Structure 1
Amino acid sequence: MNAKYVLLLILVSVFSFSVVAQTEAIERWDRFEVTFSGPQSGNPFDEVNLSADFSNGKEKVKVNGFYDGNGKYKIRFMPETLGEWRYKVTSNSKVLNGKTGHFTCVGATGNNHGPVKVADTYHFKYADGKRYYPFGTTLYAWTHQPQELEDITLQTLKNAPFNKVRMCVFPKYYSNVENEPVFYPFVKKGGMAGKKGEINFVWDFSKFEPAFFQHLEKRIDDLKSLGIEADIIIFHPYDKGHWGFDSLGKENDLRYIKYLTARLSSFRNVWWSLANEFDYIKTKPREVWDVYTKEVVNNDPYKHLCSIHNGSVYYDNWKPEFTHVSIQNGSTVEDFGRATLLRDVFFRPVLYDEVCYEGDLPQRWGHLSGEEMTSAFWHGVIAGTYVTHGETYKNSGDTIFWAKGGRLIGSSPARIGFLKKILEEAPGPIELADVWKDHKTATADSSHYLIYFGREMNQEWEFNLPKKGGPAAGKKFQVEVIDTWEMTIRKLPEVFEIATPETYRIFDKNRKKIRLPMKPYLALRITEI
């Protein structure tokens, strides 16, 4: 082998190593993004088709691209499998068609646990298997406020217990939230004076405003950095003809869904909510929601969580496109035994996303006390379901957290965080131990129980558990008294030993009792020693 040949081999090896070293590395479930320059004439949103096929040898995923303004086209992808991925672009534009590239998907680090998925029929896990218990709050129009207020909201969320935010894509024109947003989702064609002297804009619904969606994406990423899921509400009825975003027409609705899913599907912390109070959007007949839901699901290659929220009438939540049930109904968590009923109907995780809000508004949906809001969470969790918070105090002019964000001033968030910690310390999700006969006792397994007394005040409690799935005779347990309002946990010194079951109940072999303070909102945690 001559010297020139050896030198050539060395140069090839060095060059190859350099190419490998420069290959972009993307964490599993993170977002790969590539930008291309393309045509700007005409209407690129409508006239340019763009997609890409991603492949790692065995797995193939097709994603839609989108126009991001100023002649820039983007394709985004969330890799779910490790290794090298290659892509090829397909487009009706010659400048875009056939472009190729590749990147390497590496292991996730830090707080990257992947998207949330349904687990064990009624509950959730991250993609990496870590348990996820949804403790959400409501911030419908928080991304349509001045930057200073949005920043305050993020700081509030950083110090709050919530790990899910329910939020609208479109701005909201409703009582206590009637400000004009900073950004609009569509391009303005012009404007005309309204009856009160205001300017009513005329929109080109076939052209999107990239700045609006870029801002929305930034805020979704801000939530991700705080470990918060973004429950994205695609449509809502709170427009009243002010902008007309609730009455785009079917063709424009479908165009909007395709554009939105192309932009957001690769965000791992996104959930889809087809609508808030779908039945109050009178411009959309009930049958169209099946079409819209399938459009969302078919354009999301990663199959993020998907639901639809009701006003007065429930939707067909058992349909296969829906992963969980999102319910508005305050009565379900006012007392024992109600919250579990919808689990038996839909056989999916149930999130009571609107159960009224802690606040001081005159409307009946906006003046729960902190005790009532906290108790709603306990009733939901004990039943094996989940509840979403909202706050409607008029703390500064018309800045109400439920709508615009800002600062929390209510008394329930701290108590909700206390419950969240108790649930996360359990060996698994909580469900009623005997759903037909005992609506106060929940269990993670036969070694871990939670009993909630709600507004009841008791002087004493005799140790007893449901027989169904209960511990064997001879097992020993300890009891902790939880004050859910004062946020204290007191471990009792007694040891309780399980006796042979009697009919449907299990008792201590000596029928021991414990003294309880005569207070409402107490709970017991009972764990095997």
Structure 2
Amino acid sequence: ASEVASAPVRSKPRSASEVASPRDGTGVPDYKHKQTAKVSGFYDGNSTWRVRFAPGKVGEWAYEVEATRGESKASVAGKFQCVESKNPGFVRVDGHHHRGFTHDDGTPFYLMGGGAFSPWLSWVTGAHDWESYLAEHERAGMNCVRLFLYQEPHRGRARREVVNTIAEGFTDRYDLAIAQRLDEAMAEAQKRGVKVILTLFDHHPQKFNWERSAFNVLNGGFCTKPADLFTNLRTRDIQFRMVDYVVNRYGAFANLLAWEFWNEVDLVPGADLGNDKPAVKWHRDLAQHLAEADPYGHIRFTSFSSGVIDAEWFAEPWNEVISFHHYAAYGGGNERNVDEKLHQALGDLRELEKPIVVAELGHQKKKNDMSAAKGEFLRVAMWSTVFQGNYFILWDDADFRIMPETRQHVRHLTSFAAAHGLAALHPIVGPSPIAQGEGLRAWQLADEGTGRKHAVYVRSTRAGAAQVTGARLALRVRDPGTYRVRWFDPKTGETVQERERGT
């Protein structure tokens, strides 16, 4: 039986003299330069409290641990040595190329992920299933997953396996067995170089199981309707204390990429998403709370459902990533026009100069089916997303699990990206004019520094395997000379032609 125990962990308000803000005046975290930090502990069962801390600087650190219980207080002090390692540090929004990501040590992070949802759902049949799933991600070159901290019964799943990952119905009682399982899941992902986005809240319990929600006043909560989650102060206190526990327990994991406040917040029934309305203010308050509670300054964002674009939300300063969901089943197009659909949907958002992550990219038709059309849709969607300067996380290819056929498509793309340094290239916005010929569309990346490297994704917009004839590519380069031109087939993952061409 799992152990459930009260865990009244809070992050106390901090004055400027105690801890500096994890973000400087430009919004870029200054964590790696911090000389001091204040970190809260977390309860881990019986009489055990733990403190996790990730130093941002090499050298000797002095610490003091203080514990209180009522009027009683105890403390212990000591020192430890932080040594050099291969760990590149936490992921940040790139301070120079604002649509990209970089680690604390300056190395770029090129996000290409696969959906995970949770390592506890009932299709995960064995103790090592999460480990094998991460190994599959690693082999495919996928380097990121999203994990939800809350799930409700879904498609007949057993409730015990999908109860809230941390809190029992978002109350002050936390399931420590599940919390410890998440420790293991985070550690296994870190070992394999897979980053994790932790999603704090989800619309599903409010939309599909409100009658069973612990927040519902009929069940002892304080809300009469789901929209009250953004206005009821007693509920917000519970929510933010749960966030504190999550930050204290998981914030020091080097592979924690970001806090996602809500998954598809627009689907919370009755939520008023207008400018300066309750849902927006709730997010601003949580962002401010995290600025004090999270000593590492992790990336923060929220997400919307497929096809929903809200430029005002994405422009909010706390919303550091534009998280967009895109499915073929919800007006996302087919294999012949998904790239143009993505381009149109994102529109002027590029002007916000933030990373754009298609955090759920999927087909959602005929699950477990990898027909030629579906395979082409996913392939075109992935390649065009990347060549438009964005990032993706696949979703729901077969009941949330990424299948071997899809992983093969991903492997071709990740191998190409690594071999040709796509992380250093930036998009030429809009369909490239270099493709000349009926039924052709092209998307182009270029090296803005030297101008000597270009990557172009060229595709046919015709149905099926129809051949395109009379096609020409006219690529303008800045410097005259001889260039090596390599043709790569995204479907097979093979280089089909390589030759030199002079200007």
| TM-score (ref. length: structure 2) | 0.74
Query: Is residue 2:247 matched to residue 1:261?
Result: yes
1:174 paired residue number: 154
Distance 1:165 1:48, change over 3 A: closer
- Which of 201, 205, 208 does residue 174 from structure 2 map onto? 208
Deviation at 1:80, TM superposition (A): 1.0
2:353 paired residue number: 347
SS in 2 for 1:181: helix
Measure the CA separation in 2 of the matches of 1:449 and 1:63. 46
SS in 2 for 1:104: strand
When Rg is computed on C-alpha atoms for both structures, the one with the higher figure is 1
Distance 1:209 1:176, change over 3 A: closer
Query: Is residue 2:178 matched to residue 1:229?
Result: no
SS in 2 for 1:62: coil
* Corresponding letter in the other structure for 1:127: D
Deviation at 1:491, TM superposition (A): 2.9
* Corresponding letter in the other structure for 2:427: L
Query: Is residue 2:475 matched to residue 1:465?
Result: yes
Distance 1:49 1:126, change over 3 A: closer
2:303 paired residue number: 309
SS in 1 for 2:210: coil
> 347-356 vs 424-433, which deviates more?
424-433
* Corresponding letter in the other structure for 1:346: L
1:244 paired residue number: 213
Measure the CA separation in 1 of the matches of 2:270 and 2:250. 25
1:18 paired residue number: none
- Which of 375, 381, 397 does residue 380 from structure 2 map onto? 375
Following superposition of structure 1 onto structure 2, how do residues 327-406 of structure 1 map, counting pairs within 5 Å? 327-330=324-327, 331=332, 334-336=338-340, 337-338=343-344, 341-357=347-363, 360-361=366-367, 369-393=374-398, 400=399, 402=400, 405=401
Alpha carbons 1:234, 1:274 under 8 Å: kept = yes
2:27 paired residue number: none
User: Could you list the per-position Cα deviations for residues 281-308 of structure 1 after superposition, in whole angstroms to 9, with x for gaps in the alignment?
Assistant: 2376513222223323331111112211
Deviation at 1:436, TM superposition (A): 7.9
Following superposition of structure 1 onto structure 2, how do residues 415-434 of structure 1 map, counting pairs within 5 Å? 415-427=409-421, 428-433=423-428
Measure the CA separation in 1 of the matches of 2:13 and 2:6. 14
Deviation at 1:452, TM superposition (A): 1.6
Measure the CA separation in 2 of the matches of 1:174 and 1:373. 25
Alpha carbons 1:273, 1:309 under 8 Å: kept = yes
SS in 1 for 2:393: strand
2:8 paired residue number: 45
Deviation at 1:136, TM superposition (A): 0.8
Distance 1:318 1:367, change over 3 A: farther
Aligned residues: 423
Distance 1:53 1:68, change over 3 A: farther
User: Could you list the per-position Cα deviations for residues 255-280 of structure 1 after superposition, in whole angstroms to 9, with x for gaps in the alignment?
Assistant: 11111111111111112111110121
Measure the CA separation in 1 of the matches of 2:419 and 2:153. 41
The alignment-based identity, stated in percent, is: 17
SS in 2 for 1:306: strand
Alpha carbons 2:426, 2:447 under 8 Å: kept = yes
Deviation at 1:433, TM superposition (A): 3.0
Following superposition of structure 1 onto structure 2, how do residues 433-472 of structure 1 map, counting pairs within 5 Å? 433=428, 435=430, 438=433, 440-445=443-448, 446-456=451-461, 457-466=467-476, 470-472=477-479
Measure the CA separation in 1 of the matches of 2:34 and 2:150. 39
Deviation at 1:172, TM superposition (A): 3.2
1:273 paired residue number: 260
Question: Larger % of strand: which?
Answer: 1
Distance 1:117 1:246, change over 3 A: farther
Name the structure, 1 or 2, with higher relative contact order (CA <8 Å, separation 6+): 2
1:121 paired residue number: 98
* Corresponding letter in the other structure for 1:62: K
SS in 2 for 1:87: strand
Question: Larger % of helix: which?
Answer: 2
Unmatched tracts of structure 2, length 5 or more: 21-30, 222-234, 272-277, 434-441, 462-466
